[in-house]
Amino acid sequence: VSWLGLLLMTVAGAGVLRLGLGGARCGARWLELGGGFVLGFVLLGAMLGMLEDVPLAALRWPGLLGLVGVALASGTLLAWRTRSTERAPRPLPFQREGLWPLLLLALMLLLFAALLLLQVWSLPTLAWDGWNAWLAKLRAWVEARHLLPAVVFGEWLAAPAGSTLAVAGAAYPEALPRALAWLLAWHGGWNERLAHLPWAVLWPALGALCYGGLRGESVPRLAAGLTCLLLLSLPLVTAHVVLSGYADLWLASLILLALLVLLRFGRTPGWGPPALFLVCLILLPQIKLEGAIYALLLAAAALLWRLPAALRWALIGLVALLPLALWLGWTVAVPAPGLGWVMLRSGAVELPIIGVLELHWRPVAGAVAHALFVLPSFSLLWYLVPAVVVLRWRRALGSQLAPGLAFLAGAGLFHFLLFFFTEASAWAENLTSLNRLLLHVVPSWTVMLCLLLAEDEISGTQRYGRFAKSPRPPASA
Amino acid sequence: VIGWRLRVAVLVWSIAALVALLWAAGWKPGLAWSTEAEPLDAALWNSPTSELQPAGRGRRLNGQAADGMQLVWLDRDGLEAGGRRFLWLCIDELGPEQRVAVAVGADGRLHWLPLHDTWANWRSVDLERLPSWRGEVQALAVAVLRVDYLPAQAAPARQPVLCGAELRGDEFASRLRSRWTQWFGGRGWSGRSINSAGLQLGESRAPDVLPVWAALSALALVLAVWVGGRRWLMPALAAVLLLPTAVELGQQTRRALAAQASAAAVDAAGSVLSAAPALVSEFDAMRPALRAAAVKRLLVLSSNSFLREYPVWLLREFNVAGAEPDWVADFSALQAEEAVLLVPRAEGWAWDATSGMLQREGLRLPARELASGPGWLALRLGAAGRSP
């Protein structure tokens, strides 16, 4: 039943993706397979968020009907929709890219998959610190056999016994624990291996999403496969799979999906990509609160690059003047999707749910540099990022990759402000939150690096090349 | 042209790699490759946990302590640390779920240094990583431990062989071997891992291998373009990126073997893996009493975040919450509700059976003992003096 449940989520998510992006591009099946699982899982959790204070068993049929409904609706709309005018570039035959390197890559991926699955299946849940937030809520619901409201300790103490559940991360979004609760509702009780299973599936799903996304941008198989292997073998990625229970890899995967959709703007015709992009933005804060910030940054990147160049740079200049406005004592309100209004004022930022963060410089550069460039968590990624950006930024700004890079620059700025100006600096020093937040953009950066490096090879041939407001037909089709 | 350029490039890169390796491994002018080893005589080893049986030139460790540890004193007569920087250890027939640590006795207690996992039998340990390795140390010991998420009672009975131990001075061969293990050795999961940096193995003063590899990679890319033009850039980039991937594959292999061996052991013993097996067995023993008491509200009080959060995970079938003692401003409502407190003895909690009072740092609460274990007390509030 669990595997069927995971399959159904994938089918529903893949249907939504096919509807949004069309299925004509290279690698579309991979993208639908990987992205479909991620999207379907989070979508199910978000849908089940409408059910409050219900018995665990009551999740079963609404969840099932929801997934079947999404799958059927997508299928129906696909059948009715006008056929896409986009045609896929013809992929090169396997032999032209070298069959043996591809087989070697596949073998390494299979080896990694086997080793990780063995650990996910064997290791116990690590239920403390940041790892406590998501599975702890799930287990509380499953043991109580009821989705009681999760509250902080003080509220739990004040409430009548048995009416609430005390959870360390009570205010955290519930899409993941609810989707997991749906799986466990069919099982009937707590099962640690079953609770870990979606993380084991997330690993290949992220790989398929990465591979499919790159193939969709006409990156050759070998380069796409190698990028996929490098991403999936990053020590922090494997750690988040093996020590199942944390939400960051889910958030990172959905951010990657949103980024890939963003890159299709202006090339895949119709309302599909914008609608799918909007779905991703709505779902991001359902995984983690930080998702609201990323959604805001993605939305800003998408909007900015639809504007005429003069207006775009004027707006960027206006944002650059923000520190001056704050210094003059103004309060600036910025909407964060799913979170509410973020109030910026001189020396402080006020976030809904999280509270007021005092802003001043914290000397954590050494700890951050150690995490990025010395410890093995990210391998050589953060060495490669500045090198490739410096070499390619001029070309990239004039290409379809520009909004993606703008988003990643915005995310970098967000991390910089968070760790160098707020109390989160303490988490930079103990390497906990720092690594987890950087992980959010790791898949996106990995894919972006591959696209930047492959730009010469693919621009003007199979991809559409430089950014244009109105789509041009593919040159090679 | 490519032929001679390739030969020059390989030569340049090899020299650079050698220099980088020498620097990273701590070579300095005048440092000897090898110094005279000072073997620690196996006949003088003794163990409080295991029977030491002759096995070649070493000893087989037969038996283990109740917590699964196999400890061997290598020298207890007092050692002068000066001039002895490295301990070379040969350990054979270790199980995949076993770990090795070195202990130094100083200031009346043992100071532990967990070691990275390695496929090799011999390993070099830089004792200067332990601040207590100075002056005269009281003892030097080596311990074989199980991974900490495996319950001691489920740990398979293994008989590793300690096949040699010797002390060496500051020499390049030892530095190189010690740092090689730190760079490429296994960093197994601990039950309390909250990041992947392997910090549970202690801070290392050795330069890490990643910046060195980054510099060598950059050089390799420049040389590749010089030899074959831009078409060589991507294959070279793929090659330099794949090396850390291969290292990670080895890392995952060790972790998977440890996890699989541990899972097989608990399956055979009818037990479970957990982040803190001692807590699991203690709470398992308390559970019948807690169930019989029909607990309406259970509070785990601890100042330690792990001991506050993990017991809540283990006792989730109850209406349970974890809190620091200071978070409860007023216990009167809890007393009226006859809530149950679960408190760690190590944090100063004590229950006086005569007065029926739970006490800690000026706090006195009427309570009745429901269950007690070696580390924890479970008490029902507001029912002083009543018999169970």
- H-only helix segments in A244-375: 248-264, 272-287, 290-304, 309-320, 322-327, 365-373
Q: Of the candidates B300, B329, B344, B311, which has an alpha carbon nearest to the alpha carbon of residue A154?
A: B329
Write out the two tokens for A116: 């990780």
Taking the C-alpha atoms of residue A183 and residue A139, their distance in angstroms, rounded to an integer, is 12
What percent of chain B is predicted at pLDDT more than 70? 94
Reduced to 3 states, what is the DSSP secondary structure of residue A414? helix
Q: In which band, very low, low, confident or very high, does the pLDDT at B47 lie, cut at 50, 70 and 90? A: very high
CB B91 within 8 A of CB B162: yes
Interface of A with B in 210-229 (CB under 8 A): 223, 226, 229
Taking the C-alpha atoms of residue B252 and residue A238, their distance in angstroms, rounded to an integer, is 9
Reduced to 3 states, what is the DSSP secondary structure of residue B315? coil
Interface of A with B in 269-328 (CB under 8 A): none
**What pLDDT is attached to residue A305?**
81
A235/B196 Cβ within 8 A:
yes
Rounded to an integer, the average pLDDT of B35-45 is 91
In one-letter notation, the amino acid at residue A388 is V
Q: Tell me the per-residue pLDDT of B276-289, one tens digit each, with 9 for 90 and over.
A: 999 999 999 999 99
Rounded to an integer, the average pLDDT of B2-20 is 93
**What ipTM describes this predicted complex?**
0.91
Q: In which band, very low, low, confident or very high, does the pLDDT at B385 lie, cut at 50, 70 and 90? A: very low
- Using a CB-CB cut-off of 8 Å, the residues of chain A touching B274 are 124
Q: How far apart are the first and last CA of chain B?
A: 92
**What pLDDT is attached to residue B282?**
96
How many CB atoms lie under 10 A from the CB of residue B131? 9
Residue to substitute from B148, B149, B194, B291, interface A, most A β-carbons within 10 A: B194
How many CB atoms lie under 10 A from the CB of residue B247? 18
Q: In which band, very low, low, confident or very high, does the pLDDT at B145 lie, cut at 50, 70 and 90? A: very high
CB B111 within 8 A of CB B132: yes
A131/B316 Cβ within 8 A:
no
- pTM metric for this prediction: 0.92
Taking the C-alpha atoms of residue A302 and residue A404, their distance in angstroms, rounded to an integer, is 8
CA distance B63 to chain A (A): 26
Rounded to an integer, the average pLDDT of B169-178 is 94
CA distance B141 to chain A (A): 30
Measured between CA atoms, the residue of chain A closest to residue B319 is A162
CA atoms within 13 A on the CB side of B185: 22
Residue to substitute from B255, B287, B291, interface A, most A β-carbons within 10 A: B255
- Using a CB-CB cut-off of 8 Å, the residues of chain A touching B265 are none
β-bridge pairing B298-301 and B320-323: parallel
A165/B313 Cβ within 8 A:
no
Helix H or strand E segment including B222: helix B209-228
Q: Which residues pair with B72 in a beta bridge?
A: B142
Interface of A with B in 108-147 (CB under 8 A): 108, 111-112, 114-116, 118-119, 121-132, 136, 139-140, 143-144
**What pLDDT is attached to residue A90?**
59
Q: Tell me the per-residue pLDDT of B77-116, one tens digit each, with 9 for 90 and over.
A: 778 888 899 999 999 999 999 999 999 998 889 999 999 9
Q: In which band, very low, low, confident or very high, does the pLDDT at B322 lie, cut at 50, 70 and 90? A: very high
* CA B247 remoteness from chain centre: 20
Can you say whether residue B34 is alpha, beta or left, with left for phi > 0 and alpha for psi between -120 and 50 degrees? Answer: beta
In one-letter notation, the amino acid at residue B350 is A
B194/A432 Cβ within 8 A:
yes
In one-letter notation, the amino acid at residue A290 is E
CA distance A88 to chain B (A): 26
Measured between CA atoms, the residue of chain B closest to residue A131 is B194
- Using a CB-CB cut-off of 8 Å, the residues of chain B touching A380 are 210, 213-214, 217, 240-241, 244
CA distance A162 to chain B (A): 6
Tens of pLDDT along chain A (477 residues)?
788 999 999 999 999 999 998 876 778 899 999 999 999 999 999 999 999 889 999 999 999 999 999 999 998 888 887 555 555 555 655 556 778 889 999 999 999 999 999 999 999 987 777 667 789 999 999 999 999 999 999 999 999 998 999 998 888 999 999 999 999 999 989 999 999 999 999 999 999 999 999 999 889 999 999 999 999 999 999 999 998 888 999 999 999 999 999 998 877 778 889 999 999 999 999 999 999 999 999 999 999 888 888 888 888 888 888 888 888 888 888 887 777 888 888 888 888 877 888 888 898 999 899 889 998 889 999 999 999 999 998 888 888 899 999 999 999 999 999 999 988 888 887 777 888 899 999 999 999 999 999 876 665 544 443 333 444 444 433
CB A210 within 8 A of CB A444: no
pLDDT of residue B300 exceeding 80: yes
Backbone angles phi, psi at B269, to 5 degrees: -90, -5
Rounded to an integer, the average pLDDT of B247-266 is 95
Hey, what's the torsion of the CAs at B355, B359, B364, B365, to 10 degrees?
Answer: -80
Residue to substitute from B252, B305, B307, interface A, most A β-carbons within 10 A: B252
CA distance A463 to chain B (A): 20
CB B52 within 8 A of CB B46: yes
How many CB atoms lie under 10 A from the CB of residue A137? 24
Residue to substitute from A102, A107, A126, A434, interface B, most B β-carbons within 10 A: A126
- Using a CB-CB cut-off of 8 Å, the residues of chain B touching A453 are 234, 237
CA distance B281 to chain A (A): 15
Residue to substitute from A380, A382, A446, A453, interface B, most B β-carbons within 10 A: A380
